[in-house]
Amino acid sequence: DAGITQSPRHKVTETGTPVTLRCHQTENHRYMYWYRQDPGHGLRLIHYSYGVKDTDKGEVSDGYSVSRSKTEDFLLTLESATSSQTSVYFCAISSSGRDGEQFFGPGTRLTVL
Amino acid sequence: RKEVEQDPGPFNVPEGATVAFNCTYSNSASQSFFWYRQDCRKEPKLLMSVYSSGNEDGRFTAQLNRASQYISLLIRDSKLSDSATYLCVVNFPSGTYKYIFGTGTRLKVLA
């Protein structure tokens, strides 16, 4: 299995609090992605990174920010969590951004009360 | 039209049966296609890439039909362990590295 970990694996928080999710990889892959998965929707891209300090928005980026200061770490921050951000968050990595397969982390279940 | 569409199922099939899923995509310029498998409450895992000439991996066969803009997954001799949700993934060459996921087709293989 690809070396991807996510932390925390589960989190319950209250509306209005900041939350940071961490994705860590040991594969030295250039591309990293944050997705959310909700019932009735496919995985939806929040943000992605194509290198250290190089990030871009996905289709559902409102309310989220990211940072990548090292190849191995990609952080997702909810500045002020809302109940609509209750979801399962998956990090993924890829060695090739266009034609490559992605490998996923185990996911983080976030509940915003 | 959704960018990537799948029949949500569930497809309930007996062990040993052959089952096929289709996935349609809207962007004719798409170049990369994949099938992923996702077990309940787990992360998606790559099942196979889909090549223009079609490809086979054991009991699994993937096909691409560019003219009609769909990909297919055929599973032969279904096993109980094949029960899962199958996600199709399409890369949209819009200048960004973007993969679009279908909502998945749920398969239940029955004893």
Instruction: Please classify residue A86 by burial: count the beta carbons closer than 10 Å to its beta carbon, then call 0-12 exposed, 13-18 middle and 19+ buried.
Output: middle
Q: Whole-angstrom Cα distance, residue A49 to residue B71?
A: 28
Percent of chain A with pLDDT over 90: 84
**Candidates B45, B46, B103; nearest CB to A42:** B103
B-chain residues near A33 (CB < 8 A): 99
Nearest CA in chain A to B32: A99
B-chain residues near A102 (CB < 8 A): 46, 89, 99
Q: Which residue has the higher pLDDT, B32 or A25?
A: A25
Share the mean pLDDT of chain A: 93
Q: Look at A101 and B49 and tell me if their CB atoms are within 8 Å.
A: yes
Q: Look at A102 and B97 and tell me if their CB atoms are within 8 Å.
A: no
Instruction: Check whether B1 has a pLDDT greater than 90.
Output: no
pLDDT in tens, B40-57: 989 999 999 998 888 999
Nearest CA in chain A to B5: A42
Q: Look at A42 and B101 and tell me if their CB atoms are within 8 Å.
A: yes
Mean pLDDT, range B28-39, rounded to an integer: 91
Per-residue tokens: A27: 């594969």
A9/chain B closest Cα distance in angstroms? 12
Per-residue tokens: B57: 């991996």
Convert chain A into a string of H (helix), E (strand) and C (coil): CCCEEEECCEEEECCCCCEEEEEEECCCCCEEEEEEECCCCCCEEEEEEEECCEEEECCCCCCEEEEEEECCEEEEEECCCCHHHCEEEEEEEECCCCCCCCEECCCEEEEEC
Confidence of residue A12 (pLDDT cuts 50, 70, 90): very high
Short-list A21, A41, A45, A36, CA closest to A97: A45
Instruction: Check whether A65 has a pLDDT greater than 70.
Output: yes
Q: Look at B93 and A98 and tell me if their CB atoms are within 8 Å.
A: yes
In A18-53, which positions are buried (b, 16+ CB within 10 angstroms) versus exposed (e)? ebebebbbeeebbbbbbbbbeeeebbbbbbbbbeee
Q: Look at A101 and B98 and tell me if their CB atoms are within 8 Å.
A: no
Instruction: Check whether A63 has a pLDDT greater than 90.
Output: yes
Short-list B37, B55, B59, CA closest to B46: B37
- First-to-last alpha carbon distance for chain A, in angstroms, is 34
